[in-house]
Structure 1
Amino acid sequence: MGLSIVKHVAQRHSGELRISSEVGKGSLFTISLPAMRVRQGRVQAQEQGLRQADA
């Protein structure tokens, strides 16, 4: 169930989950999410909005 949740979250963020496995070596789980640039003012406005919502 945990991996299906991780896969769903990754896909909702336009990313992906990759899994590879080798007998006797183990498994590798890789989550890729797209990077996004955000202007400083927008980040500050979002943080301020969150602070106001918490008040």
Structure 2
Amino acid sequence: MTDKQNKRYTIVGTDIDEVKEKNAHSGLSYNEVKALIAREKLGFEPSKHSDTDS
């Protein structure tokens, strides 16, 4: 089997594993940015006040 046969693609041809790899190295997530802003601007750690973050 070739490498291309082992890859997963969306209907329009996007390489799913390539997108996941790029996302892993793209920076802060939405929730990480919210936590950073809360710590810097509001002076508290959001995870101590919420049970929605792990």
TM-score band, normalised by the shorter chain? 0.3 to 0.5
More helix by share: 2
Question: Relative contact order, CA 8 A, sep 6+: which one is greater?
Answer: 1
TM-score, structure 2 length as denominator? 0.32
TM-score with structure 1 setting the length: 0.32
